[in-house]
Structure 1
Amino acid sequence: MHKILITGFTGFTGRYVLQEARKRGLNAICFSEDGSSSSLPINLLDYTAVREKIEEIRPSSVVHLAAISHVLHEPASDFYAVNIGGTRNILQALSELSRNNLVNNIFASSANIYGNSSKVELDEETSLRPVNDYGLSKKTMEELLVLWKDKLPITITRPFNYTGRGQVDSFLIPKIVNAFKQKKNCLELGNLEISRDFSDVRFIAQAYLSLAIQSSQFRVINLCSGNLTSIKEIISICATLTNHNLKVISNPDFCRKNEIMKLKGSTAKMEKALGYKSPYSIRETLSWMLSK
């Protein structure tokens, strides 16, 4: 049976990846800091512990999701310690397996590393210009992964924005959805002029598992919908689905410095690798989130 090691499974994305793995009948083994839900307790910054556990598990594939991912996280030094240091330990441990039968290893990067680009549609060859510590840590992680491309099968994924049930409301779409579910009269947000390429977390989980069981050489793949949706459109869809209107105010205190105004991905390479695009429209995702 294909044995998948998932890191960061207690996070928003990881829970869906674990569900998808079980649905596919894969043997999923998880790392988490506290060992919750029958996972193995591990500190990814403890190389000796990481190496011992990976040697014991001997996975066929790894889906590495564990990371500090909220752009406003403090202290910013955590981005580099976890996103780079934890990844480095996993890479070294995998390369030292006594019998290396690895099929593939998925490392989650982020479309945030593209920064503000003049291109209408961002493909994997687009120049990387991160504008915050999170994006810079992921760009550095990718540069680290290049050093291991001749030693291990590696797929770097660059997911664009995605959402779904269970995402905390410090993220934009859950914040908007919760305001409509609670029938609030007013909602304060940051910059209302931004537009994003939004996907459904269920699709992202499916994509991770599909890629994980593919044998491949080093590659970088966007995970995205290929559609650009504005914040105002999100609000309008929620208003229609709930038959409720609220006043939305742009609060300058919520606006980020160096905000990325538009972020839309090319799906060409993703479609070639997966053989499919996301089956979920943003309206379907919002309807799913609003229904619970």
Structure 2
Amino acid sequence: MKKILVTGSDGFIGSHLTEELVKKGYEVKAFVYYNSFNTWGWLDTLPKDILESIEIFQGDIRDPNGVRQAVDGLDAVFHLAALIAIPFSYHSPDTYVDTNIKGTLNVLQAARDCNTERVLVTSTSEVYGTAQYVPIDELHPFQGQSPYSATKIGADRLAESFYRSFQLPVSIVRPFNTYGPRQSARAVIPTIITQLLAGKNEIKLGSLTPTRDFNYVKDTVNGFIEIYKSDRTIGEEINIATQQEISIEQLANELIRQIRPSARIITEEQRLRPEKSEVNRLLGSNQKIKSLTSWKPNYTFEEGLSETIEFFKHNLDKYKVDIYNL
């Protein structure tokens, strides 16, 4: 069975991907962000038998030497390590360049030096900006509407250049808005759920009109694995999308209905993005991934929300509900 490195394995999607790869019998090395507390992020919450099957590598994606050491001797790299919060990218854009662009370059260089068989680089639907047409396919123009999205565009194009210049077997994986258990409260669905479960009657949000194409995390993870399993995806950039959209207001009202019907929505100024930075519409095409792999969504939006709500009911103590999470 193949040996796989997962960068960003301590995070939301990365921890789910690491767990699923172990369940499928892969040998997994988990690249986690070094910290003096010796915590491994969400990996610390995995069942003991799963965690004992994982090789933990503590490092920093910005360090080329550590990245090369982690990659050496492995068959594939799933590169998910990134800074992803859009509001924080307004505050500290330098860190996004260092982590998202230089970190990705470190992975690509290491994979090239180590003759890695497959490299999956994680992109984001934010690279498209507000939809110029829908559904958004992989030919849609790119638009950097935040420092975060600009750095992800840069990372994607670096990945493409290593495929074209050095024949590195890269696939660019582009999930639309993933949600589910373990997601941080900087994302809209956990923001709403945690406020409701904490008994808030006024749910504080930013703009309510944007639409999003929400993937349940287990479907996103399955997309990564199916892209990896197909050689037809090498050199390609591929959306993972449901091809359905819902507005933030509709989403909030549905969660209010399910959890706390007496609550109401209020718009808080600090949560609003700058006007030209707000991505107003995302609706992705999933035709390419379906044509190149056997992937299909296994969860309805209602099923995904139900599992997500259940998780937060039992983990609310891990979230600082009264603080706006950048």
Give the alignment's TM-score, normalised by structure 2.
Answer: 0.84
State whether residues 20 and 209 of structure 1, in contact with CA within 8 Å, keep that contact through their aligned partners in structure 2.
no
Q: Which amino acid aligns with 2:302?
A: R
2: CA distance between counterparts of 1:243 and 1:48?
A: 50
* Runs of 4+ with >6 A deviation: none
Gaps of at least 5 residues in structure 1 are none
Q: 1:78 aligns with which of 95, 107, 112?
A: 95
Q: Which residue of 2 aligns with 1:186?
A: 202
Gaps of at least 5 residues in structure 2 are 45-54, 314-326
Deviates more, 1:7-16 or 1:265-274: 265-274
Q: 1:203 aligns with which of 197, 207, 219?
A: 219
RMSD: 1.6
Q: 1:54 aligns with which of 67, 71, 75?
A: 71
Q: Which residue of 2 aligns with 1:278?
A: 297
Percent identity for Structure 1 against Structure 2: 27
Which string of whole-angstrom CA distances, capped at 9 and with x for unpartnered residues, describes residues 14-50 of structure 1?
1100111011111111111227365112222222232
Show the 5 A alignment for 1:236-255. 236-242=253-259, 244-255=261-272
Which string of whole-angstrom CA distances, capped at 9 and with x for unpartnered residues, describes residues 71-116 of structure 1?
112311111111111111111111112xx361x2110011101112
- How much does 1:251 deviate? 2.1
> Which structure has greater helix proportion?
2
Q: Which residue of 1 aligns with 2:128?
A: 114
Which string of whole-angstrom CA distances, capped at 9 and with x for unpartnered residues, describes residues 233-280 of structure 1?
212322332362311012233210121111110010011223232121
Q: Which amino acid aligns with 2:152?
A: K
Provide the aligned length of Structure 1 versus Structure 2: 287
Q: Which amino acid aligns with 1:124?
A: E
Show the 5 A alignment for 1:171-182. 171-182=187-198
1: CA distance between counterparts of 2:31 and 2:268?
A: 39
Deviates more, 1:69-78 or 1:176-185: 176-185
1: CA distance between counterparts of 2:299 and 2:286?
A: 14
Q: Which amino acid aligns with 1:4?
A: I
Q: Which residue of 2 aligns with 1:123?
A: 137
Q: Which amino acid aligns with 2:92?
A: P
Q: Which amino acid aligns with 1:59?
A: L
Q: Which residue of 2 aligns with 1:65?
A: 80
Show the 5 A alignment for 1:198-237. 198-216=214-232, 217-237=234-254
State whether residues 196 and 260 of structure 2, in contact with CA within 8 Å, keep that contact through their aligned partners in structure 1.
no
- How much does 1:168 deviate? 1.5
State whether residues 112 and 168 of structure 2, in contact with CA within 8 Å, keep that contact through their aligned partners in structure 1.
yes
State whether residues 230 and 293 of structure 2, in contact with CA within 8 Å, keep that contact through their aligned partners in structure 1.
no
Q: Which amino acid aligns with 1:273?
A: L
Q: 2:110 aligns with which of 66, 78, 93?
A: 93
Look up the SS of the partner of 1:157 in the other structure: strand
Look up the SS of the partner of 2:239 in the other structure: strand
